[in-house]
């Protein structure tokens, strides 16, 4: 979304026009932005055998998946329905990675039957995998190297310390024992930081730790560095420069490959990097009110549509698209859920009146995909702007949707 001639536009289409056509609240995604991020990512890692697996949990609309397929990406999935959606839009099963965490082994069996690439993150399922498949199906191992990533939220940082993900590097010996016992074919090593990475240094340190471990496994085809690459959301925090990261990684990776005896593939699973800044949540200010000394802007949305500000204390830039250049005031921007429901506290915005179109930026990743119908409110519609045209890619929920799976019984 860009401000051109005093109007916020997406690929030349004024967002006001999108409101008229589709109503609000509305998620809008810019396909050109996604394509640009893919180009940048490829440019950053142009010296390695790069395989990008889009982490589709970030935004699961099948049209976004299709776009990724067209752009030549693979897919990272964490559940069987995500895997099925990938197959549905035409990804080859071997291009889809299945990286669940706490799941019953039967899910892994189903993913193997569907032909996906399996990534295992705990010793229990690795043992079962060995018992069932031996070395007949290759398996990737997700490790937890206990490297602290950076985050702008204490909660995320706390989570990192508690991280449940991956097999601890302290247990590599156990992995080796299982490899030997079942003649496992371990073809990949995976890490994902589970919080955002902002500097190449942090990343390179993690990478070196992984390379050291990878030297203990003789049959690898790839190293998978997961996702977690931050984009600039306007919060003033540093963002990683993928070109710089690519250059630094190339040095340590080449060194590793030389020691390893051959060049491996490098996999990444970006979610937010590809779609985060491609998405905007368009809302309408339905209420202006003063309370307890604060000026409130009430939106026809809430944390049921975009949970990140309340859940992670995540920063989202907010603009008044109806008054992009007027004088500014300080507001608390709230949603309509029956609990504390802040999008932003004490935020400077161009003066807001009831009826104004308020755009919440950087809402492409973990926006719609984490939305709910809490308070029995409908989830928004979704629109993809592609090749200069705005296309509806998901209908707004309806009352019937809220009732669809409920079973009404006789109470006496
Ligand atoms: C295994 C794995 N890969 C990739 C991702 C995508 O992360 P991001 O959207 O931060 O790039 C996640 C996010 O949770 C993940 O768990």
Task: Report the half-sphere exposure of 37 (CA within 13 A, side-chain side).
Answer: 25
pTM of the model: 0.95
In whole numbers, what is the pLDDT of the chain averaged over residues? 93
Contact 274 CB / ligand 1 (< 6 Å): no
* CA dihedral over 129, 130, 135, 138, signed as positive or negative: positive
CA dist., res. 126 & res. 105, Å (int): 9
How many angstroms is it from 270 CA to the middle of ligand 1? 6
Query: Which helix or strand (DSSP H or E) is residue 154 part of?
Result: helix 154-161
- Segment 232-236 shows an average pLDDT of 93
288-295, long-range: CB within 8 Å, 24+ apart, which pairs? 288/352, 288/353, 288/354, 294/331, 294/332, 294/346, 295/329, 295/330, 295/331, 295/332
CA distance 206 to 184: 25
Nearest CA to ligand 1 atom 14: 194
Concatenating the DSSP letter of every residue in 5-68 gives TTEEEETTEEHHHHHHHH-SSEEEEEHHHHHHHHHHHHHHTTTS-EEEEEEGGG---HHHHHHH
Residue 318: beta bridge partners?
360
Pocket test residue of 202, 227, 311 for ligand 1, highest count of atoms within 8 A of CB: 227
Q: Where are the domains of the chain?
A: 2-29+276-403, 60-270
Q: From the alpha carbon of 269, which atom of ligand 1 is closest?
A: 4
Give the number of other CB atoms < 10 A from CB of residue 408. 6
CA-proximal residue: ligand 1, atom 12 (nearest) = 227
Which pLDDT belongs to residue 268?
95
CA–CA separation, 265 vs 182, rounded Å?
A: 25
Class of domain 60-270: alpha beta
CATH of domain 2-29+276-403: 2.40.37.10
140 assigned to active site: no
Residue with tokens 């603009």: 319
pLDDT in tens, 280-300: 999 999 999 999 999 999 999
Q: 3-state class of 108 per DSSP?
A: helix
d(CA 233, CA 318): 11
pLDDT in tens, 161-197: 557 788 888 899 999 999 999 999 999 999 886 556 7
The answer to whether the CB of 302 is under 6 A from ligand 1 is no
Alpha carbons within 13 angstroms on the beta-carbon side of residue 259 total: 13
Indicate which residue's Cα is closest to atom 5 of ligand 1.
227
Q: What is the predicted pLDDT for the residue at 284? A: 98
- Judge if the beta carbon of residue 227 lies within 6 A of ligand 1: yes
Q: How far apart are CA 322 and CA 353, in angstroms?
A: 9
The two structure tokens encoding residue 302: 């809430």
Q: Is the pLDDT of residue 152 over 70?
A: no
Lowest mean pLDDT among 33-42, 109-118, 165-174: 165-174
């Amino acid at each position: 979304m860009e401000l051109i001639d005093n109007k916020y536009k997406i690929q030349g289409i004024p967002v006001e026009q999108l409101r008229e056509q589709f109503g609000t609240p509305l998620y809008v995604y810019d396909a050109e932005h996604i394509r640009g991020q893919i180009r940048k990512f490829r440019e950053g890692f142009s010296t390695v055998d790069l395989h990008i697996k889009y982490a589709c949990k970030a935004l699961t609309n099948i049209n976004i998946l299709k776009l990724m397929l067209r752009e030549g990406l693979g897919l990272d999935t964490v559940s069987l329905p995500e895997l099925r959606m990938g197959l549905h839009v035409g990804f080859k099963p071997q291009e889809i990675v299945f990286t669940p965490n706490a799941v019953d082994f039967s899910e892994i069996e189903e993913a193997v039957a569907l032909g996906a690439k399996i990534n295992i993150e705990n010793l229990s399922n690795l043992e079962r995998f060995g018992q069932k498949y031996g070395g007949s199906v290759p398996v990737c191992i997700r490790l937890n190297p206990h490297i602290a990533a950076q985050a702008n939220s204490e909660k995320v940082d706390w989570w990192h310390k508690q991280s449940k993900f991956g097999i601890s590097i302290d247990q590599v010996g156990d992995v080796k024992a299982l490899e030997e016992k079942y003649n496992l074919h371990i073809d990949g090593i995976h890490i994902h930081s589970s919080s955002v990475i902002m500097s190449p240094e942090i990343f390179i340190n993690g990478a070196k730790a992984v390379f050291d471990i990878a030297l203990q496994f003789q049959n690898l085809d790839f190293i998978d560095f997961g996702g977690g690459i931050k984009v600039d959301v306007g919060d003033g925090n540093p963002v990683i420069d993928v070109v710089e990261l690519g250059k630094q990684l190339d040095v340590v990776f080449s060194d590793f490959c030389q020691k390893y005896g051959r060049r491996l593939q490098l996999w990444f699973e970006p979610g937010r990097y590809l779609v985060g800044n491609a998405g905007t949540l368009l809302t309408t200010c339905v209420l202006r009110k003063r309370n307890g000394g604060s000026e409130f802007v009430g939106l026809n949305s809430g944390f049921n549509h975009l949970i990140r500000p309340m859940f992670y204390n995540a920063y989202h830039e907010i603009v008044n698209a109806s008054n992009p250049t007027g004088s500014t005031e300080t507001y608390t921007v709230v949603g309509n859920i029956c609990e504390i429901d802040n999008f932003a506290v004490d935020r400077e915005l161009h003066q807001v009146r009831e009826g104004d179109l308020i755009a919440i930026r950087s809402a492409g990743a973990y926006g719609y995909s984490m939305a709910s119908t809490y308070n029995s409110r409908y989830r928004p519609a979704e629109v993809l702007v592609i090749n200069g045209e705005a296309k509806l890619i998901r209908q707004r929920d309806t009352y019937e949707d809220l009732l669809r799976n409920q079973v009404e019984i006789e109470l006496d």
